[in-house]
A and B are shown apart, each in its own frame.
Chain A
Amino acid sequence: MKSSLLKRGLVIVMVSLPVFALNSVTHKSACAQQELLVSAAASLTNAFKDVGKQFEAANPGVKVVFNFASSGALMQQIDKGAPVDVFASADQKTMDQAGEKRLLLVETRKDFVSNGLVLVVPKGSKLVIKGVKDLLGAKIARIAMGNPETVPAGRYSQEVLTKAGLWEALKPKYILAETVRQTLDYVARGEVDAGFVFSTDAIVAKERVRVAAKAEGHQPIRYPVAAIRGTKKLEISQKFIDYLLGSEGQAILARHGFGKP
């Protein structure tokens, strides 16, 4: 008797759960909050979360939702019709491609930060790496970098290694990651001997990775941002871009190690 009562109770709870869930969803949308969907390069993760909070505080009724991934993957999503309002990429090339596909409101495009590329090793690593040439060493078996096809940091790394005449020679050692943050994670876990990440990424994991050398010989790294052609919230999108370029946004980005555009 008791157990059947318990069962009946459980059934009632289980049936009513979705109803409650549905109820809260409809309730939220009734509150008429404006949601801004921002697709941003993985390297912006920590900085943009801060920016988002401050922007929301300064603009009541606006909720910023972030979608972080490699710039290349984000561009493909937008190309396939993802309802994105603002796109921030870690390189000019991806944004140029988005422009060619007529995905952008070109007049809103602005560079908002700069960054550097560094070679990092796991914190406890005893390997001596002073420059990219040292990667040829026999003790270095695995070098992580973003997949140059979709990850800007990987594209810059390829540029650096190609210029140094090492790209082909080091090929068997490459471990290609889906985002720059995955590269960082591989190094932090000690799964690879070295990896290429942005200098801002190295700061995020400074307790677990050590910057061995600056990687030089790549194009200047400047991040562009732009509103997407299909956006229905152009006003807020423009506000967000202006905020990034304004003194408050720039201060937050500088705190996370980003340079001026």
Chain B
Amino acid sequence: MIVFQPLLLTLKVASLATLFSFLAGVALAWFIAHFRFPGKEWMDAILTLPLVLPPTVLGYYLIVLLGRRGWLGQFLLNNLGISLMFTWQGAVIASAVVSFPSFPLIFKSARASFESVDQNLEKAARTLGSSELAVFLRVSLPLAWRGMLAGAMLAFARAMGEFGATLMIAGNLPGKTQTLSLAVYSAVQAGNDALATTLVLITSIVCVLVLVSSGKVLKSSYTKEVDR
């Protein structure tokens, strides 16, 4: 179906992009937070850059890097026979890069609030005989988890709406790389307002569903924490 295909593709791309940027974002944020090394601020800035740069700039960087004649693209093509241009996997990478900075930001703020509020909770847990691992798993993680989930939500929303970098890397190929946002663009360009309206409504409904359900997850995990 003309509407179903881009929807499924969008969900697939956004989920995978969120997963990748979650893992990379949390790992790098933890690394930056816990180690001192020269150029730390610079690395922090460069990792946050995708948040402020226009997606077309990111798309261009990705083309230069991953294109058939790009540094990494050439290596992948010659050694593994993989080309990411015009593939949905390419769309995942584009969306992951664009949604990636949501994590360090959320992680940082979660960590900051955790540090300011939670010292007493941690100490209390220790005085009550909890091991360091138990303190981390039962106190620190559940509190940081909320921020991380919020980050995942942000990243997912951003990945779903990704347009510029995806168009440049993955192209706009119906049935192959055409996500919802690209399908809307094509429908408007071709003057197919009926299709555009349908796609726009579906996108809006999906986004509302994502927001409501993630809001519920956040709320329930939070209240559980308070009850405990």
Contacts and interface: CB of A to CB of B under 8 A. Distances in A.
- What's the dominant secondary structure at chain B's contact region? loop
Interface in A151-200: 174-178, 189-191
A242 to B, nearest CB: 30
A190 B188 CA distance: 29
Contact of B68 (A150, A177, A190): A190
B191 A79 contact: yes
Contact of A175 (B63, B67, B173, B186): B173
A174 B173 CA distance: 8
Interface in B108-149: none
A72 B191 CA distance: 8
Contacts of A191: 67-68, 85-86
Contacts, number: 43
B186 A147 contact: yes
A82 to B, nearest CB: 13
A189 B171 contact: no
B85 A176 contact: no
A175 B171 contact: yes
Interface in A67-101: 70, 72-73, 75-76, 79
What range describes how many residues of B lie at the interface?
Answer: 10 to 19
A70 B185 CA distance: 13
Nearest to A97: B191
Given A142-B86, A177-B171, A191-B86, A72 B68 contact: no
Contacts of B188: 76
B200 to A, nearest CB: 15
A149 interface: yes
Interface string A45-82: 00000000000000000000000001011011001000
B69 A176 contact: no
A149 B85 CA distance: 22
Interface pairs A-B: 7 shortest CB-CB: A73-B189, A149-B190, A76-B191, A191-B85, A150-B189, A190-B69, A190-B68
Interface of A: 70, 72-73, 75-76, 79, 142, 147, 149-150, 174-178, 189-191
20 contacts: A72-B189, A72-B191, A76-B188, A76-B189, A79-B191, A142-B86, A147-B172, A147-B186, A149-B190, A150-B190, A175-B171, A175-B173, A176-B173, A177-B171, A189-B63, A189-B67, A189-B68, A190-B67, A190-B69, A191-B68
